[in-house]
Structure 1
Amino acid sequence: MTSDSTLLVTGASGHLGRQVIEALLAAGAGKVIGTTRDPAKLADLAAKGAEIRHADFDEPGTLANAFVGADRMLLISTDALGTDGRRLAQHRAAIQAAVAAGVNHIVYLSAPAPYPTPEPSLIGDHYWTEQAIAASGVDFTFLRDHLYTDLLVYSLPHAIETGTLYTATGTGGRSYVTREDCARTAAAALAKATGKSALDVTGPAPLTQDEVAALASEISGRPVKHVAVPAEGLRQGLTAAGLPAGLVEGLVAFDVAAAEGFHAITTTVVKDWTGQEPQSVRDFLLENRAALAPKG
């Protein structure tokens, strides 16, 4: 993965950003820069050879210095999941600063089947960010990461405890992919991708929620049944659970997209870029069996 370019990763203190930098350093990718609001959180990566810089996407003035000298950038979508347009504004400011700094290739972590929405939304933000990067004139790679397998560790314990997994996916499948596989793919694309492309980053095969429930039953030893609910029912349930409105809408939209078949795509992108097959949902859940224990 050796690269003569200076590689920059935004959001480096997040779960995925940290894994990308670790993968780059382990592969001897060359000069690696990580940006974060709190550089102190990445002292360990600095000790391993990464250059850590302060960047706050809510303060666009910090981005020019943070991006200077970078040839290629991985733009990790921010955690501003509200419906106020803040996230897209952050992304647009980062793209503008990257181009001004001389970045010649932007790798962007997007989502499957992005599309414009009437109001700001999680999926709409991805669509318009892709459009802004394409319009910037630099080369790009859009990595449309499918739903992280890791998220099942948060949703399945409650389903195992209650015996019921509620979703609005109907009979649609999802090609779950682990965050680690996405990170390794992003690191490879950041170091080596050329031209302009959009790639779906998926696991080995799509699973329906009936199949996910069956796996949860097998691994936990407790019966779990999937119950399909309408989108509005899921929205009400997530809202009642106290989730922020922007996240609720994003989760509902993802379920609806899965029900419509947009999450059942399977590609060889992970193996093509990393040389390794993506991990299956079953193997991931077996590795994380202890985390599936009901919290109550």
Structure 2
Amino acid sequence: MSSRRPHKSVIESLPLRTITTRVTPAILILLAVSLMIVHRTDTVPVEKLRIAVTDAVAPVMSAISRPFETMADSFSGIKTMRQLKAENIRLKAENERLQQWYDAALKYQAQNKSLQDLLNVKADAALSFVTTRVVSDPGGSFVKSVLLPVGLGDNVAKGNAVMSGRGLIGRVTEVGERSARVLLVTDLNSRIPVIVQNTRTHAILAGKNTSLLRLERLPIDSSLSVGQRIVTSGDGGQLPPDIPIGTIVEVGPAGVIVQPLADIETVTYVQVINAQVDRGLLTGEITPAQPKHGKR
């Protein structure tokens, strides 16, 4: 009498390691696609979820990164006596030049104030700022953003400009109670109204997901050259005017290319600029002034 072996399915006959090897990539791909869809979704519930997660993660990342930054600062601060002496001489010469510029600036400031009073010029809104550390790197190849451990409790608002010591690096796109996400100027989705400082030519500065930027929507008759400085125009009221961003490094078939003033990839400390902007500049709706009724 012949004995029959029990029939096994294909899945049961495969080793567990083989099944895991085949299924794991599919699960990871599905998870990655789901995260990308959630990140790109701009609905209010999804944005609130992202902000809640960011608020929870920001303090942890800040605590973890602090010892490593302290160690990095210690290594970078080690210099030989020869380097320190050369740097001291250079700083003394630079200090003398800056003193001359300071004296000239005081004179022009007094002249400017006198002319403003004479012409009855309305002054720009006062700017306030908060200084903080960056607690996450600029992201990968497709998303250029950083995380800051400040939020609504520090008077940070959506749309605020974010600067390093040398120039604009981005603007706040999401803000929670204790954290804020900054879209960098190098991101592909970044569009900033700017002007060429010496010619006052208006344009849009676009990110390319690289270390360089590009000027778009330039006037046909614009004549630009390498070395010209690019600053914010303040159009639309989103960003304060005259914040430096970069300089033109190439004018050619590829367009007008701009190099940011700040080293965005290695920035550690930033300032979040809070400008009190008239809401009419953002919405385009201007409320008519109420007529004043005098006494008869």
| TM-score of the aligned structures, taking structure 1 as reference length | 0.25
User: Greater strand share, 1 or 2?
Assistant: 2
Structure number with higher relative contact order (C-alpha < 8 Å, ≥ 6 residues apart): 1
| TM-score of the aligned structures, taking structure 2 as reference length | 0.25
Larger radius of gyration: 2
